[in-house]
A and B are shown apart, each in its own frame.
Chain A
Amino acid sequence: MQLISKFSRSGLMLLLILLIMLPFLISSSYLTHIVTLILLWSFVATAWAYMARFGMVSLGHGVFLGIGAYFPTLMFNYWGVTPWIGIFVGLVVAIVIAAILGYTCFRFGLLGDYFALVTLAVAEVSALVIMALREITGGSLGYTLRSTGRLADMQFADKRVFYFMALILLIGAMYIWRRIDKSPVRLALTAIEESEIAAASLGVSVIRYKMMITLLSAALTALGGSLYAQYVTYVSPDTIAGVGVSLSVCFKAILGGMFAVLGPFVGSAIIVSLEEYVRISLGTSFLGLSQIIFGVSLLLMIIFMPRGIMGSMSMAVAKRLNRISARH
């Protein structure tokens, strides 16, 4: 066990150094762009897995992405409020919405599939709201951020700034993940997942811990949405709110493995790269095809590799090590 953690720690350090150097090593701004997207989605998928790894599978995180993306964008375009403040507003709104949704679900004891279904419906509603307010939000056509190129408006001549912002957020999210692992919060949430009544009878406040992780997950997701919108300077219900993006976030985390801290990153890296590959090699006409491929492979994943790539790998390594140590 110790060997594994030592192994994964040095692996993490290596990865980190590589990621820090990458924008300086590669001259292609296109590649940097792709890796920026990977980092952004890894961050969001990691935040999503905060909940999912404790059995709270939300299919509605598009809501928080959307809030995070639309609030600073609209506030900037209409009122000239700098996104530095707009992001904060989006964050607060996301937390408030998460608190209302979460409390309602947890109060009524919505678990598992029921929780997933309710959050899915909420994601759909968020897209509908954006459509309904098309006068303001641009509806399904989306909405483009006004360009000023000023630092005060969170616009940078060098796009690599976003790369590093995303990297810092991702590292932060992974750090919090590790901290949770080493804190009573993990014990509480694991117990709650298996038996709410057993947890409660040992003094664990079920609603408090569920709320805590939900608010954290929603806040980080909104932050990811904000940064994404500022980066691509374009928001639309398809790319940043609603059911589609909610599901694609889950898929990234599940593919990589939502129980491993690196899982969501690995999943995001694979999917973002594949999506780009499909887009370039097959053209936009096959966008639908790639969706189908992803859908089918998600199904296969859940059936054959429920712990995802990272989960299966660490299990295989653990088995190996056990066998080796058994021989000695």
Chain B
Amino acid sequence: MLEIQNVTKVFGGILALTGVSLKVGEGSFVGLIGPNGSGKTTLFNVVSGAFPPSKGNVIFNGQAISGMPPNHICRQGIARTFQIPQPIKSLTVAENVMLGTIFGSQQIGTACGLDRAREEALQWLDFVGLKLDPESYPDRMTAGDLRKLEMARAIATRPKVLLADEVLSGLNRDELKDASGILQKARDELGLTIIWVEHVMHVLMKLVERVVVLNYGMLIADGDPASVSKDERVIEAYLGRH
């Protein structure tokens, strides 16, 4: 359902992505790993429309989406979370999620009142298990809660595909379990297709059914977790940096 075709992204002189091709089927749970600076976030940025690819295409449900503005891509059904959470600090926790419910999908849209959007937002807060006062402001939240809010907001757009960028970084052990559990639940209960960028390997490897590895902007491995973790090029890519 999501097909990345030969995508290249150049920043100034830096090749952040070099001819990356990837097909992701409906309902799959894919881990995307690679050393720092290997282009994982850049790939998410291209797919979600933050910027267009320098070369190549992104096809979603048979339609080319590369070059579309991010709000259109979101409404097509691709949501993302940010590696550095981006809560809107002058909106309440509930309102942050309401952004997703109101603007993120064509079904609800801006025509419906704020009340219905709020109701639905509260359900998503419940879904991710965020137990904060929904009327509080997200300015002094823990890392774990920020991640939950980030995910609730993305899921609230009712996506078909969720691009989750490092939802575990900076979390303690309990929070790790919570956050990864949300992804699992989103896949199982909502039927989302998930691509998950993560450095916390031991958690990722247990959950995903397929792992794709980037190194220096190139796709160097693609397979099930067991075989990828034995892949020589992958080991070298990680060891080579440390």
Contact = CB atoms under 8 A, between A and B. Distances in A.
Q: Do A and B make up one complex? A: yes
Interface of A: 182-184, 187-188, 190-191, 193-195, 197-206
A195 B74 contact: no
Q: Give the 7 A-B CB pairs with smallest separation, nearest first.
A: A203-B103, A203-B104, A198-B86, A200-B70, A203-B74, A204-B103, A184-B110
Interface stretch (B93-101, B174-182, B190-198, B214-222): B93-101
Nearest to B76: A203
Interface residues of B, number: 30
Given A201-B48, A203-B100, A194 B74 contact: no
Interface string B49-90: 110000000000000000001110011000110100010111
B117 interface: yes
B105 interface: yes
15 contacts: A188-B103, A194-B90, A195-B88, A197-B50, A197-B70, A198-B82, A200-B69, A200-B71, A201-B82, A202-B79, A202-B154, A203-B99, A203-B104, A204-B99, A205-B71
A194 B117 CA distance: 21
Given A190-B88, A198-B86, 20 more contacts: A184-B103, A184-B117, A187-B91, A187-B99, A194-B86, A194-B88, A195-B86, A197-B50, A197-B86, A199-B99, A200-B50, A201-B48, A201-B49, A201-B70, A201-B79, A202-B79, A202-B100, A202-B153, A203-B74, A205-B69
Given A203-B75, A206-B71, A184 B102 contact: yes
B114 A183 contact: yes
Contact of A204 (B71, B86, B90, B105): B71
Contacts of B95: 187
A203 B86 contact: no
Contact of B99 (A182, A193, A202): A202
Nearest to A201: B70
B91 A191 contact: yes
Contact of B91 (A190, A200, A206): A190
Interface of B: 48-50, 69-71, 74-75, 79-80, 82, 86, 88-91, 95, 98-100, 102-105, 110, 114, 117, 153-154, 157
A203 B109 CA distance: 10
A202 B74 contact: yes
Contacts of A194: 86, 88-90
Contacts of A197: 50, 70, 86
Nearest to A197: B50
Nearest to A192: B88
Contacts of B102: 184, 187
A202 B86 CA distance: 11
A198 B79 CA distance: 11
Most buried by A among B48, B75, B99, B100: B99
A295 B156 CA distance: 47
B80 A201 contact: yes
A186 to B, nearest CB: 9
Nearest to B85: A198
Contacts of B71: 200-206
A188 B70 contact: no
Nearest to A196: B70
B157 A203 contact: yes
B202 to A, nearest CB: 29
Contacts of B100: 202-203
Nearest to A207: B69
B103 A182 contact: no
A197 B50 CA distance: 7
B184 to A, nearest CB: 23
A180 to B, nearest CB: 12
Contacts of B153: 202
A225 to B, nearest CB: 31
Contacts of B114: 182-184
A231 B117 CA distance: 45
